[in-house]
């Protein structure tokens, strides 16, 4: 997870599968999934804020992981400040940056799915969920249960995690869909290779034609193989920028396969709405206010 400061002083907590790079008074926890759901879930992130006066913003930026999220808050949770989000929703791959926000006390639980299982869990074409947050009740009879009410009435995080684990098992079982091994292998290769391995090499290794690969990938993952490669490359660069792993942006660009610093900056702004410099400047100002 990471903290994303803003010019207005809001506390913004980005949903990630990594440790935060700055201290924060909010309770942020990352869990490995229970073995019974680990075939579907990569990780679980929990955000809890007890301050009724703080505005919390959760940027959903491209990282390659779709998921399901539950929230309980004093006020409504909105997407980009306008669309009200249901307490329990599924989201697909994010290409365009989205800010989910609320004010006051908040519990937010996000289950990050493996990139290749979105259709297996939801029974829906991955492309239909790209850049969208959809109420869970949309996904068939098994989803039209009292789960949302049970989650809202649960008295502990352990109870909520157990309820969500059970729901994901039932939801996946109801569709009788097995994971596509070609797409599973492809997403692993692309993530491990930071999006730099040529698609033709991946297709040859997996013995699949370009047309079939494109069709299967969009159907299962929700974006094209080329876009997923771009997301993996950006994500590798983003981690280095926020963790200050290189002193120069040109070094980060070189390490992550961008042609130059300008190329990295354009991609960074495309996926986050900020340039690397703007992000680092805001981060430095936020750290100074914490001292």
Helices 225-243 + 199-206 axis angle, to 10 = 120
Q: Which residues pair with 28 in a beta bridge?
A: 47
Distance CA 32, CA 34 (A): 7
Strand 133-135 relative to strand 78-79: parallel, antiparallel, unpaired?
unpaired
> What are the DSSP calls for 217-283, one per residue?
HHHHTSS-HHHHHHHHHHHHHHHHHHHT-SSSHHHHHHHTT-SSHHHHHHHHHHHHSS-HHHHHHHH
Q: Render pLDDT for 252-278 as a digit per residue (tens, 0 to 9).
A: 999 999 999 999 999 999 998 888 888
Q: What is the pTM of this model?
A: 0.86
Distance CA 58, CA 72 (A): 14
**Token pair of 16 as six digits:** 């990630």
5 against 85, higher pLDDT? 85
Q: Is the pLDDT of residue 59 over 90?
A: no
Give the rounded distance of the alpha carbon of 148 from its chain centre.
21
**Token pair of 205 as six digits:** 């290794």
Distance CA 138, CA 128 (A): 12
Mean pLDDT computed over 227-245? 90
**What does the pLDDT read at residue 136?**
87
Calculate the alpha carbon distances from 107 to 98, 133, 142, 148, 267 in Å. 19, 18, 24, 14, 32
Q: Is the pLDDT of residue 3 over 50?
A: no
Cβ contact 33:46 at 8 Å: no
Q: Left, alpha or beta for 274 (phi > 0: left; psi -120 to 50: alpha)?
A: beta
Distance CA 276, CA 88 (A): 33
Q: Render pLDDT for 127-185 as a digit per residue (tens, 0 to 9).
A: 999 999 999 888 766 666 688 999 999 999 999 999 999 999 988 888 777 889 999 99
**Token pair of 12 as six digits:** 């913004």
Mean pLDDT computed over 49-56? 87
Query: In what helix (H) or strand (E) does residue 98 lie, and over which residues does it extend?
Result: strand 98-103
- List, in order, residues 6 or more apart from 87 with CB less than 8 Å away: 70, 71, 72, 77, 148, 151, 152
List b or e across 123-155, with b for residues whose CB sees 16 or more CB atoms inside 10 angstroms.
bbebbebbbebbebeebeebbeeebbeebeebe
Q: Is the pLDDT of residue 221 over 90?
A: yes
Average pLDDT of the chain to the nearest whole number: 85
């Amino acid at each position: 997870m990471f903290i994303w400061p803003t010019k207005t002083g809001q506390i913004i907590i980005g949903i990630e599968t990594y440790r935060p790079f700055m201290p924060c008074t909010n309770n942020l926890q990352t869990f490995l999934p229970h073995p019974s759901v680990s075939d579907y879930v990569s990780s679980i992130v929990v955000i809890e804020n007890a301050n009724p006066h703080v505005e919390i913003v959760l940027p959903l930026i491209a990282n390659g992981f779709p998921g399901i999220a539950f929230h309980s808050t004093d006020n409504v949770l909105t997407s980009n400040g306008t669309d009200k989000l249901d307490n329990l929703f599924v989201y697909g791959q994010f290409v365009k940056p989205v800010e989910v926000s609320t004010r006051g006390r908040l519990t937010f639980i996000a289950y990050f799915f493996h990139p290749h299982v979105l259709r297996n869990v939801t029974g829906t074409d991955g492309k239909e969920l790209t850049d969208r947050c959809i109420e869970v009740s949309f996904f068939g009879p098994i989803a039209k249960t009292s789960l949302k009410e049970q989650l809202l009435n649960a008295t502990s995080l352990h109870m909520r995690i157990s309820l969500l684990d059970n729901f994901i098992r039932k939801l996946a079982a109801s569709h009788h869909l097995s994971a596509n091994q070609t797409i599973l292998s492809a997403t692993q290769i692309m993530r491990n290779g930071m999006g730099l391995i040529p698609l033709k090499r991946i297709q040859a290794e997996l013995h699949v034609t370009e047309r079939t690969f494109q069709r299967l990938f969009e159907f299962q993952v929700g974006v094209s193989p080329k876009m997923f490669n771009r997301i993996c490359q950006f994500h590798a660069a983003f981690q280095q920028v926020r963790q200050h792993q290189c002193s120069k942006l040109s070094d980060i660009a070189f390490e992550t396969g961008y042609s130059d610093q300008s190329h990295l900056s354009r991609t960074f702004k495309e996926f986050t709405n900020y340039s690397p410099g703007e992000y680092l400047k805001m981060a430095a100002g936020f750290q100074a206010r914490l001292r």
